[in-house]
Amino acid sequence: MSERFKVTKSDEPTGKAFKNYGATAADNEVELKGKLLPDSGDTDEHGLPKDKDKGCDTNLYLYHDELEDRPRVATFLSSLADYSNTIPTASAADPDAPKPAPPARMGTLIGVYLPCIQNIFGVILFIRLTWVVGTAGAIQGFLIVLTCCCTTMLTAISMSAIATNGVVPAGGSYFMIGRSLGPECGGAVGMLFYTGTTLAAAMYIVGAVEIVLTYMAPWMSIFGDFTKDQEAMFNNFRVYGTGLLLIMGMVVFVGVKFVNKFATIALACVILSITAVYAGIFVNWNGNDKLQMCVLGKRLLKDINIENCTKEVGGELHRVFCPDNICDPYYKDHELSIVQGIKGLASGVFFDNLQDSFLTLGQYIAYGKEPDDIEQMERPTYNQIYAETTTTFTILIGIFFPSVTGIMAGSNRSGDLADAQKSIPIGTICAILTTSTVYLSCVLLFAGTVDNLLLRDKFGQSIGGKLVVANMAWPNQWVILIGSFLSTLGAGLQSLTGAPRLLQAIAKDEIIPFLAPFAVSSSRGEPTRALLLTMVICQCGILLGNVDILAPLLSMFFLMCYGFVNLACALQTLLKTPNWRPRFKYYHWSLSLAGLVLCISIMFMTSWFYALIAMGMAGMIYKYIEYRGAEKEWGDGLRGLALSAARYSLLRLEEGPPHTKNWRPQVLVLAKLNDDLNPKYRKMLAFASQLKAGKGLTVCVSVLAGDFTRRSGEASTAKQNLRKCMNEEKVKGFVDVLVSPSIPDGLSHFVQTTGLGGLKPNTVIVGWPYGWRQSEDERTWQSFLQTVRAVTAARMAMLVPKGINFFPDSTEKVSGNIDIWWIVHDGGMLMLLPFLLKQHRTWKNCKMRIFTVAQMEDNSIQMKKDLKMFLYQLRLEAEVEVVEMTDSDISAYTYERTLMMEQRNQMLRELRLNKKEALGMMQNLVDYHEQNAEEKLPLVQAIVDHHHADVKTTSKVRFAEPGSEAAPDDAPSPPLAELEEKDKDDKDEFRSSLLHIIDSMWDSPDERSQCEDSPSPTADEKKETNANGDALNQKPNLPPITPDEGTVRRMNTAVKLNEVIVSRSHDAQLVILNLPGPPRDTKLERESNYMEFLEVLTEGLEKVLMVRGGGREVITIYS
């Protein structure tokens, strides 16, 4: 039914295709083709064509370069005029299927009004409306019908607005809701509508069997007298219903043309039957004696001839009520009477039928509500008629509601209408007005014509198994019996024809993967597979065997569908979507909202159990499509709702920081890309996922160096790669890539500007620069340090995972310890992070251990007690240990590490190499380290010569010390002779100094990169290696270096803390410690020293997370 919509052309021109410019519908599969420019190669001296379009092209030459992809308006409009709207048939999916003739263009009467009339008037009108009126009374019966009719009228108004908001191909409510609320809602409602239509077919089949067996041919009963055993009646319905389903299924399979022709006959039968009922009511103005009932006291009796309605001893009733000559007390105390069933409008019986007569299961059908008359009193029922089901106002709404469904018949045929946007609103609303008038008038006329007891006799057992409506009609009851049977068959055939096509339309949209097999058509273009599934579901409904059970069940599915139609219209109207421009103007969001409330209210009033089943089914389909379904972009209205909700939420979020109780890490991941524009360290995303556990905000960003106009394509590729990586690591969030001339500046921009309003990241995850010592750039740590400073200035928290490739994947489970080294209080970040990690399955089995450092003047025992109490108040479980650090003298090893660091800085400062030369020198150093001792001297000599050769030709400004005042550009250079004399003296000294510095660099325990598997020497090994004193002082020609006292103290802290941490946490799954603040001085030496301190601090540890808080508390002891 919901075929793909295309704009095709009868005489297709040749030329270049227009890209994405044209009317789009269904799946945006619009193909517009045409010529952009003349084919002639003749041009004038300006390069313009000489033909008649020259003037236009000259006037629009400013846009000449864009005409390749963006056609001129005139060209576009002329192309549209040559195209016609057609609906691809089943042959589109099956090339072997023959192409049917183009459908006839129908008007409002034939295409919408009459199909709606046929679908709305159903079996309930003939076999249940009298019972509803008698049970609920004229007033409540009128309200029941009015409520149902108002629901469909409000839905029809909403549907008219949606249907006139653009072209609606075949598919009815499924297409409209899917394109208004998105594929998830569309698929869910489509499946509900399909299920409802299939169960409607089951109800029509059971209703047709009931008409035949109960009123036309009771002798066909297989299971005996069903008037005495209801189970026998329902078993008959199941057997005959199954046979009728097979016959109707074969009719639908063999010839759809017969179904369409039979629809005309069924429609004629419906109209003729209703006309006969109206005629009979007025013919029997004063009533008739055709239907007479035998009443005992106030109770209605069944299976008794009127001639035998006496208390004569030995008579039929006496034998029933007085077995063994012991008469029933009610029989003895009350008299028998014969009551006229059809009393006529003139009798005034209308006033007797005003009040309701709701009963519970097993109560007798009698006048009034006196307990003596309606209660069984634990006595035999004999042949008294009693209620076989409990009735209430809401239950009757559910039973009657299928009588008003069918309003989608016109919209389902929208592809065959000459002017769908005009015909659907007029035809549907007129059909609802017509049927509502008939229903409401029938309620009043039935209440004014028929006796109350006869109205409540559901199966006509008191009048010999006759249909009340049929005996009211003129000229004969067979007009109603045959007409209702044929119309019910026609409605069932229509349902069996429409349901498989709806299922095929959903399957073709590929939004529900497991329905893919049902998208296939047969060689005749028929949805055979979908028909078989429909018959199986229909058979399940037939096995219920009772119209009163089927009616409320299928009501749920139709009510859900109608509710979504109202929701779609209300949302589009309230959100003021730019594309929401219906031609039908008589709608309002309040009407749609009222329709939605009515639908939901009726669902739960009728049966909360069935309502939950329908909603659960819709919810499961929605989540399935969302999780597994193919992605479809239909421009749905829920996107507008999400945008409005996001805007509302953002405006409500406080612009300032959230309360400490509400703080959670909103993560900004700064990802480094490799040469293939993929994330270099994927496990940073896995770590972010473990930290977030799917909650809050996660933004993954990266920076490309260069010009955006040149690298925009690479930025788009990098963004796609980041998104793919995030999906693979199951990180829910956003990605962005920035192209900036400077990577540090780009990262700073991200730190400053990422987020919107109150929804901004508060935590930054940045990778450790593993190769900062061996890099070609002497300031490779510049990006890292500038990012640290930017994050600190932005008052955001910062996480630096070191050894990230050793971190576990999200699919792994690790057990062991998470060790927190709480050196300084930083807002509680160190406490909160391991708790959040333990919420994830990867870290769930780990235990927390908290270490803190006590100085000599601290009371370590009291510190431990206080820390335990603090953790208790924080509701955190962790082991606590206080580590005491003595004020021992600074070790020789610390001095040696400090001197090695200072000497490397001095070497870099003295060499004053540019970037390219530094790269070459570092590579030579690597080669030098790999050579044996005999081969080292020539290489050192080459480096020395290279260095002093450069000094001869380089200006003073180039070699000015960091922070020193540069010499003017025009300052004279030293005489060449002086440089040559100085060069000879310097070479020997420089050679010995360089040899020593190189050796000390490579002998130092330099951890090249924790991404490599090479183990680092432990602290004890370092002490043993350097225990013989300061080897640097033995070098004869080394310039004297006196380390700064602060530098030595910092190195001492790093060394001692590292020793303590390694001794206790070397086997921990993760070590979390405070990240020291970066140096305020931006000199090269200070920054290099800071990086060295961090390296020393984390040596010998495999997985480290360095944490720096944002300057605010993030965890609290209060509730």
pLDDT surpasses 60 at 593: yes
Q: Cβ distance 1103 to 799 under 8 Å?
A: no
The pLDDT, as a whole number, for residue 62 is 52
Check residues 74 and 953 and name the one with the higher pLDDT: 74
Q: What percent of the chain has pLDDT over 70?
A: 73
DSSP state of 27: T
What's the mean per-residue pLDDT of the chain? Answer: 77
Which residue carries 């660099």 as its tokens? Answer: 1001
The pLDDT, as a whole number, for residue 42 is 53
**330-350: pLDDT as tens digits:** 998 889 999 999 999 999 999
**43-65: pLDDT as tens digits:** 444 444 444 444 444 455 455 45
Q: What three-state secondary structure class fits 486?
A: helix
Q: Cβ distance 443 to 396 under 8 Å?
A: no
Q: Calculate the alpha carbon distances from 203 to 128, 191, 214, 528, 533 in Å.
A: 13, 18, 16, 22, 17
Kindly indicate the confidence band of residue 1040, based on its pLDDT and cuts at 50, 70 and 90. Answer: low
What radius of gyration do the chain's Cα atoms show?
A: 44
Task: Provide the CA 868 distance to its chain's centre, in angstroms.
Answer: 44
Q: Cβ distance 56 to 72 under 8 Å?
A: yes
DSSP state of 879: E
Q: How far apart are CA 705 and CA 748, in angstroms?
A: 13
pLDDT surpasses 50 at 135: yes
Which residue carries 């400053």 as its tokens? Answer: 752
Q: Cβ distance 130 to 357 under 8 Å?
A: no
- Per mean pLDDT, which range of 12-21, 900-909, 1055-1064 is the poorest? 12-21
- How many Å is the maximal CA-CA distance in the chain? 154
Q: How far apart are CA 493 and CA 498, in angstroms?
A: 9
pLDDT surpasses 80 at 356: yes
pLDDT surpasses 80 at 862: yes
315 — phi, psi (to 5°)?
-75, 180
What spatial distance separates the first Cα and last Cα of the chain, rounded to whole Å?
Answer: 57
Q: What three-state secondary structure class fits 579?
A: coil
Q: What three-state secondary structure class fits 407?
A: coil
pLDDT surpasses 50 at 179: yes
pLDDT surpasses 90 at 241: yes
Mean pLDDT of 823-838: 85
The pLDDT, as a whole number, for residue 932 is 44
Q: How far apart are CA 1113 and CA 798, in angstroms?
A: 14
Mean pLDDT of 563-569: 89
- Within 53-171, residue ranges assigned H as helices are 54-59, 73-81, 108, 114-120, 123-127, 129-163
**889-907: pLDDT as tens digits:** 566 677 677 777 777 677 7
Joined tokens for residue 321: 């009520």
Kindly indicate the confidence band of residue 198, based on its pLDDT and cuts at 50, 70 and 90. Answer: very high
Q: How far apart are CA 362 and CA 1058, in angstroms?
A: 86
Indicate the helix (H) or strand (E) that contains 853: strand 845-854
Check residues 635 and 199 and name the one with the higher pLDDT: 199
Is the whole-model pTM more than 0.85?
no
pLDDT surpasses 80 at 113: yes
- Per mean pLDDT, which range of 362-371, 381-390, 655-664 is the poorest? 655-664
Joined tokens for residue 398: 């559910």
Q: Calculate the alpha carbon distances from 1052 to 896, 1082, 1092, 1097 in Å.
A: 11, 22, 12, 10
Instruction: Write the DSSP string, 1027-1094.
Output: TT--GGGG-TTPPP----HHHHHHHHHHHHHHHHHHHHHTT-SEEEEEPPPPPS---HHHHHHHHHHH
The pLDDT, as a whole number, for residue 667 is 92
Pairing of strands 698-705, 797-802: unpaired
As to burial, measured by CB atoms within 10 angstroms (0-12 exposed, 13-18 middle, 19+ buried), residue 293 is buried
- In 10 A of CB 63, how many CB atoms? 11
**865-875: pLDDT as tens digits:** 888 888 888 88
The residues pairing with 7 across neighbouring beta strands, listed in sequence order, are 85
Q: Cβ distance 768 to 800 under 8 Å?
A: yes
Task: Provide the CA 611 distance to its chain's centre, in angstroms.
Answer: 22
Residues in the chain: 1119
**268-321: pLDDT as tens digits:** 988 999 999 999 999 989 888 888 999 999 999 988 888 888 888 888 888 888
Check residues 633 and 699 and name the one with the higher pLDDT: 699
Q: How far apart are CA 973 and CA 942, in angstroms?
A: 25
- Within 21-128, residue ranges assigned H as helices are 54-59, 73-81, 108, 114-120, 123-127
Q: Calculate the alpha carbon distances from 293 to 33, 129, 285, 462, 465 in Å.
A: 77, 20, 19, 6, 12
Q: Cβ distance 806 to 1098 under 8 Å?
A: no
pLDDT surpasses 90 at 119: no
pLDDT surpasses 80 at 80: no
**265-283: pLDDT as tens digits:** 888 988 999 999 999 999 9
pLDDT surpasses 60 at 952: no
Pairing of strands 845-854, 879-884: parallel
Q: How far apart are CA 698 and CA 719, in angstroms?
A: 15
**727-781: pLDDT as tens digits:** 888 888 899 999 999 888 999 999 999 888 778 898 999 999 887 776 655 556 7
Q: How far apart are CA 891 and CA 1053, in angstroms?
A: 11
The pLDDT, as a whole number, for residue 495 is 87
Mean pLDDT of 979-997: 45
The pLDDT, as a whole number, for residue 189 is 83
